[in-house]
Structure 1
Amino acid sequence: MSDFPVLDSTARRLYRRLAVRQAKGRMPSLVEGVVRDGRLVWWGARGSLPEGSAGVDVQYRIGSITKTLVAVLVLRLRDEGRLSLDDRIDAHVGGVPFGNRTIAQLLSHTGGVAAELPGAWWERSPGVDATGLRQAMASGVVVDAPGRAFHYSNVAYAVLGELVSRVRGRAWFDVLAAEVLAPLEMRDTTWAPRSPAATGWAVHPYADVVMPEVVQDVGAMGSAGQLWSTVADLGRWAGLLAGDGGEVLSGDTVAEMCRPRAVVDGDEWVSGMGLGVQLWRDKHRRLCGHGGSMPGFNAGVRVDPASGVAHVAVSNCTSAADAGEVEDVFDIMDECEPRLPIEWAPASDVPQRVLELTGAWFWGTSEAALYAEDGGWLRLEHVSGMTRASRFRPNGDGSWTGLDHYFAGERLRVVRDATGRVQHIDIGTFVFTRSPYAPPESVPGGIDGGWTVT
């Protein structure tokens, strides 16, 4: 258990849920963890391993969760100005048959690239090197026009791994170890398994017998699903996806990763895709994270950024049987240990030039309220009519840039009169005044006669 455990009653419900999943799913072993505010607050294990007891520090293969780590490496390069997400991939990696696809399209699986590498089943075959990858891709990996639809692609992520290697000048996993795993203290996330590591099994669908699965080093396909990790390390990774990127990734970039770029299931919109992050939603919450599978293994990370709670799980079977209805981890946490509000404290840094902007503002007859936040940030909230909410980050030149919703990327400017008094604010040409349609000189088109009573 962690140093910040859940209540005993909560732990019992979480463990019972795990036991039901392991028994009904017929998994040789299952390890799960719950993360709250970046800390592993509960973990449990069920099942047996020839290698010893299943536990929080036993390695399992995490498959496509690898893609989320690779996506963070790409976004770090973008944040450094080394590339743009709108760049064509062939601006950085030549000789690929989908060179006109953008980096963003490959990250979000909207590049129209084939799911799998032509040839032998890559997950069960000795890995190819970069030359072999190109030779295999030449057989045909373009299946759709770019940007038209979601189509999951392991091939795209193999090329994204090469992108990182080329821009950084060294193997992508070495970059990952230095820039991400070390700062997050994910010491047990590795390219190849180290002891103790679980054996992967195939479970017979009609008999209670198992067969060991083959484990391959997949070479140049590694950025699509090579890595091994533990529940403890995946808990640290879940903390990043919950918004605590520390020195690895800014909170704004994490939020950008988790914004929908594609809908997976059409009109239902239960499943979506961000930048390297899978998305799920229902009437209660929106989750982000990623699943992963390789022969003999399954893993998953699901994060609720709104509550700061995450669920991580690893098992050593190729596919689990249907466990039927089991309690939802997030429902258990919401019911037993609802999130406490952040303790209020006075702000430490609100400049006077920001404070004077607070209060009611009108766009025409629609009202919004502008709030000051620490560090000179602003928050616009809807009050009535057609106003739209957004947060604004100061630019250092007396203007602010919108971060989300309708005003994302738009600039907020303060317009003053000859005496220096604030006359109105302009957000991407939307003029906000202190009262509806006043003063006349602030409103495009002027005011025809002013307010009257009829």
Structure 2
Amino acid sequence: MTSAMEELLPGTRRALLYRIAVAQSEGRAPSLAAAVQRNGHLVWTGSRTSVAGHAPDADTQYRIGSITKTFTAVLVMRLRDEGLLGLDDPLDKHLPGTGVGESTIAQLLGHSAGLSAETPPPWWERTPGSMRPELSDVLGEDTAMHPAGRRHHYSNPGYTLLGSLVEAVRGVSWEEALRREILEPLGLERTSAQPQAPHAGGWAVHPWADVMLPEPVEDLGLMAPAGQLWSTPADLCRFAAFLAAGDERVLGAESVREMRVPSVPLEAGEWNGTYGLGLQILRHEGRTLVGHSGSLPGFVAGLWVSVEDGVAAVALANATSGPPAATVAADLVHIVADAEPKIPEPWRPLPEVDQELLGLTGPWYWGTSAYVLRLVADRGVELEPLRGGGRRSRFLVGADGTWTGLDGYYAGETLRVVRRGDGSVSHLDLGSFVFTREPYEPGDAVPGGVDPEGWRGFRF
């Protein structure tokens, strides 16, 4: 149940319905179901169908294809947070004998291990998983396509390896780990490895005629961690809320944020999209969206969340091709975020202030470039240029009184206050960059010194 403050405006709801109606009609999908979540609350659901007796809603299951990979990535990140593995560990350390064991876990999560995109024939998405009982059947003989770590190359077999890694470290099946560690804690009761009624049937729609053909539903076996799952718009919105804020029962906010950080180099022509650790990252119409698309024969799916706007959307359809579910989901995010912008939290003063830290705030100079240092909550600081572009970062205070950069150019770098012999502040040191209270002030710790004649004019 949503409150009056959480409900969408009538015009927004109509715009959402219009978008999915166009997608279902133009995409010739037997059905399309969608949902929008805002600030952790389900605020809209909608569906369109043309098949008699088939009326999907937010509780109807569709197959979600590669959105499954994000669930698998969360399981791996849990192992990392428990200290059972490191992201830089080679696969061989925990799952020996694969033939690609030099690939790191981080490379597999981010699709930069250089492995092949698909399995050897036949097409795994339309083939019973029982036909590939061993990892060697999934990988084949020539699975290394590119040098590891050099480029993004999407790999379905790579996520099979990660699923097997989870099983090897946990000592239970991937499906059992998924149920116990993600689905149950987050209350995703309608997400499962096998379809559960009510669920949509998968269809292929003829490209040149308005006729349909049912698609087979295969258990993917070892390939399950790459694309097996079924879910609903409502469940996926709950999962999207987790991807935005984390949940200590599953994965903390900092680890989820780490998943949302680009992990692979971009190539020419890919400046609007990249990949994190199990999450696609999209720059779309001025917003950064994170989530994943998915498809299997008979189904297409899309999940996107704008963390900044607090809005997520899901679109699911039961057609092999046609409606661009991922694009529809992204458009639904934009419709809500543009029509009903997030209302900022009220400004509130800090509950207490350290007078010594307060004395550090204000203008500082790196050479002649003016910066400002601001004090924020929990003894943190922000450093940003006073005008124009430049390097800006937030910093978190440490136990030793220094600050560590959280983002931007100075992420991971140390900011410290350097004092004179009498205890007064001399300058700020940030990764060897010196910030002084005045630009090139004589007597300050200016690298290279200051010309003794000081500032001067010049007559042309």
TM-score (norm 2): 0.90
CA offset at residue 266 of structure 1?
Answer: 2.2
Structure 1 window deviating more from structure 2 (180-189 vs 440-449): it is 440-449
Detail structure 1 runs of 4+ shifted over 6 Å in the superposition: none
Aligned pairs (5 A) from 1:216-235:
216-235=218-237
Please give the alpha-carbon distance, in whole angstroms, between the structure 2 residues aligned to 1:112 and 1:70. 19
Q: Would you say 1:407 and 2:410 are equivalent positions?
A: yes
Equivalent pair of 1:112/1:149 in contact (CA under 8 Å): yes
Structure 2 letter corresponding to 1:434: R
Amino acid paired to 2:343 = L
Q: CA–CA distance in 2 between the matches of 1:428 and 1:173?
A: 46
1:51-450 map, 5 Å: 52-128=54-130, 132-245=134-247, 247-262=249-264, 266-320=268-322, 328-348=331-351, 350-384=353-387, 387-438=390-441, 440=443, 442-449=445-452
Output one character per residue of 1:63-113: Cα deviation in whole Å (capped at 9) or x when no partner: 100111211222233333333222222222111222222222211111110
Relative to 1, partners in 2 of residues 1:414 and 1:174: Cα closer, same or farther, differing over 3 Å?
farther
On the 8 A contact 1:290/1:302 being kept in 2, the answer is yes
- The separation in 1 between residues aligned to 2:230 and 2:324, in whole angstroms, is 25
Q: Tell me the alpha carbon deviations over residues 154-184 of structure 1, each in whole angstroms, 9 at most, x when there is no partner.
A: 0001111122222233223333333322332
Q: Report the counterpart of residue 21 of structure 1 in structure 2.
A: 23
**1:387-440, Cα deviation, whole Å (9 max, x unpaired):** 511111222221221111111111122222334333222221122222223473
Which stretch has the larger CA shift, 130-139 or 180-189? Answer: 130-139
C-alpha contact (below 8 Å) 2:317/2:323 kept by paired residues: no
Aligned partners of 1:362 and 1:436 also within 8 Å: yes
Q: Distance in 1 between matches of 2:356 and 2:85?
A: 35
Note if contact 2:150-2:265 (Cα within 8 Å) is conserved in structure 1: no
Per-residue deviation, residues 118-171 of structure 1 (Å, max 9, x unmatched): 132211222149951234424321111112222110000111112222223322
Distance 1:432 1:93 in 2: 49
Kept in 2, the 8 Å contact 1:92–1:166? The answer is yes
Q: Distance in 2 between matches of 1:322 and 1:402?
A: 39
Q: Deviations over 1:189-215 (max 9, x none)?
A: 111121211111111222222222111
Instruction: Give the stretch that moved more between structures: 205-214 or 406-415.
Output: 205-214
More displaced, 24-33 or 180-189?
180-189
- List gaps (5 residues or longer) in structure 1: none
Q: Distance in 1 between matches of 2:286 and 2:96?
A: 45
Q: Quick one: distance in 1 between partners of 2:149 and 2:19?
A: 40
The 3 A distance-change label for structure 1 pair 177 and 414 is farther
**Cα distance per residue 1:288-336 (max 9 Å; x no partner):** 211011111111101222222222111111111579x989324422442
Measure how far apart 1:36 and its partner are.
Answer: 1.5
Aligned partners of 2:370, 2:111: CA distance in 1, in Å?
40
Give the secondary-structure state (helix, strand or coil) at the position aligned to 2:343: coil
Question: What secondary structure is seen at the aligned counterpart in 2 of 1:221?
Answer: helix
- The size of the alignment, in residue pairs, is 453
Flag the 1:264–1:207 CA change in 2: closer, same or farther, 3 A: farther
Contact map agreement 1:129 1:220 (CA 8 A) in 2: no
Identify if the C-alpha distance between structure 1 residues 225 and 351 changes in structure 2 by more than 3 Å, giving closer, same or farther: farther
- Cα distance, 1:357 vs. partner? 2.6
Distance 2:226 2:318 in 1: 19
8 Å CA contact 2:426–2:444 kept in 1: the answer is: no
Distance 1:265 1:28 in 2: 37
8 Å Cα contact 1:365-1:437 kept in structure 2: yes
Does the C-alpha gap of structure 1 residues 152 and 264 become closer, same or farther in structure 2, counting only changes over 3 Å? Answer: farther
Greater Cα shift, 42-51 or 402-411:
42-51
Counterpart contact for 1:186–1:233, Cα < 8 Å: yes
The answer to whether the 8 Å contact 1:112/1:151 transfers is yes
Asked if 2 retains the 8 angstrom alpha-carbon contact of 1:32 and 1:44, the reply is: yes
> In structure 1, what is the Cα distance between the partners aligned to 2:84 and 2:398?
21
In 1: Cα distance, 2:225 partner to 2:176 partner? 12
Check 1:250–1:368 CA distance in 2 against 1; reply closer, same or farther (3 A cut): farther
Q: Distance in 1 between matches of 2:58 and 2:80?
A: 34
